[in-house]
Each structure stands twice: as C-alpha cells, then as structure tokens.
Amino acid sequence: MIPTSFPPKDEIARLSARMLLEIGAVHFNAREPYVYASGLPGPTYIDCRKLISYPRIRSTLMDFLTVTIMRDAGFEAFDNIAGGETAGIPFAAFVAERMALPMTYVRKKPKGYGRNARIEGAMSEGQRVLLVEDLTTDGGSKISFVDAIRETGATCAHTAVIFYYGIFPETTQTLADHGVTLHHLCTWWDVLAEAREQAAFDSETLTEVEAFLGNPRAWQEAHTAS
C-alpha cells in the first residue's frame, strides 16, 4: 500500500532517530573510537542492518522513506527501484513493494562468471531508477552503483537512504556533481538531539560526540596515532 499522509520532515527525523536508538542501532564510544572503512577513527557507529529484525519499526521507517521520496522527487518519478549490495537490497524491496514498482539490485562488482553482470533483475534502457541504500557517509559508494545503473541505458538521478551522516559538507555536492539528489530520513544531528533528550548516553560521551560531529576531520586528526 502506498503511504500518502505522514508527519512533516522534522518529526520524521525525530521519530526515525528515536527508533534507531530504541533497537540499539546507535553506538557511541569516545574512549575506544570505532575505525571506519577509511581507516580513520570516530566515536559514532550506526548499524541500520538491524532494522530488518524489527517488523514494526522497519515498516514505519519504510513508510517514512517512501513518502519522503514521493514528496521530494514526485509521485510518478520512477520506473524501477534498485538496491545496493548488500545492505540496500531489503530496503529497496520494501520500498518497491510500497510503490508497486519492479525491484532490482546492483552488485559492488561483476560476479566474475556467467553473465558477469552487476545488475540483477530486469532493468531496461530509458527506465528512471531510484537507488536505495541503508545509509551514506561521503556518497562515494553511491556513485559506483549509479554508474552501473546508467551503463544499462537507464537513468538514475536520485538515491534514498534511511540514515545520512550529515557531517561531511562535500557529500551532497559530490552527488550533485554526478547528477544525483540525496533523500534521507535523519542524520547524526537528529540522533544526538534525541539521545540527549532520552539521556541515552552519559554527558561526557555526548559532549565528545558533538565535538566530533562539529568538526570530524579535526577530531580524527587529534585521535589518530602518529
């Protein structure tokens, strides 16, 4: 069923942050920072994959994501919903079901045998494709997926995620330079505000997380062993 009436964006952001905190998807640790894929440290980590195990929260967030896409991009803007391997695949399926559209997924790289394809499912030339993922940090992985979609002759001008870091100012510009608009439900700032409201972490941790969010590059430099 296609959702048509939901709260305004700021309330969606607050509720989304609340749900991520409720299922333990949010991790803050300033004393023993996490190491990101870039090799750099940070006191925050989020695991959106946990959402697939919580049906009520999963369903609500997928309704939120669907209505956000339709509000921002248009109600008849897409012909195909593509998920990025692997975390984006279930969420793309949920959104495609709600929008009554075909679903496909994009591999990170060709599988190396058979058709050696990166696109699984039926995607055709001229289709307007929405790329769905769980989250985005700097937008880099999205560009690779978008390029694979465009190689089929389809177009891809939008990507939608549950969670956007919202702390690296170059992200939206990087995507925009590639002809892609980003849609999201909440950011680290929304999660931090809700964590403060709930006193979900001690004040020292929240203060350190805020320092990181305010200037992540400087925080990482200060916490990277020379």
State residue 38's pLDDT score. 73
Q: Is residue 2 part of a domain?
A: no
pLDDT confidence band for 1 (50 / 70 / 90): low
> Is the distance from CB of 79 to CB of 103 less than 8 angstroms?
no
Q: Is residue 145 part of a domain?
A: yes
Q: How far is CA 124 from the centre of its chain?
A: 25
- Cβ atoms < 10 Å from Cβ of 204: 10
Range of the domain at 63: 9-217
Q: Which of 116, 115, 88, 87 is nearest to 103 (CA)?
A: 88
Give SS3 for 165. Answer: coil
Mean pLDDT estimate for the chain: 93
Q: Is residue 86 part of a domain?
A: yes
Q: Which two tokens stand for residue 210?
A: 């805020």
CATH number for position 200: 3.40.50.2020
Percentage of the chain lying above the pLDDT 70 cut: 95
The pTM for the full model equals: 0.93
Q: Is residue 127 part of a domain?
A: yes
pLDDT of residue 211 exceeding 90, the answer is yes
List the beta bridge partners of residue 44. Answer: 28
Q: Is residue 222 part of a domain?
A: no
Q: Which of 216, 195, 217 is nearest to 205 (CA)?
A: 195
Q: Is residue 150 part of a domain?
A: yes
Q: Is residue 223 part of a domain?
A: no
CA dist., res. 81 & res. 99, Å (int): 9
Number of domains in the chain: 1
Q: Is residue 108 part of a domain?
A: yes
Which range (69-73, 94-98, 136-140, 213-217) has the least confidence? 136-140
pLDDT of residue 113 exceeding 60, the answer is yes
pLDDT confidence band for 115 (50 / 70 / 90): low
pLDDT of residue 90 exceeding 60, the answer is yes
State residue 148's pLDDT score. 95
What percent helix, strand, coil does the chain show, rounded to 5?
A: 45, 20, 35
Tell me: the pLDDT tens digits for 160-173? 999 999 998 889 99
State residue 116's pLDDT score. 61
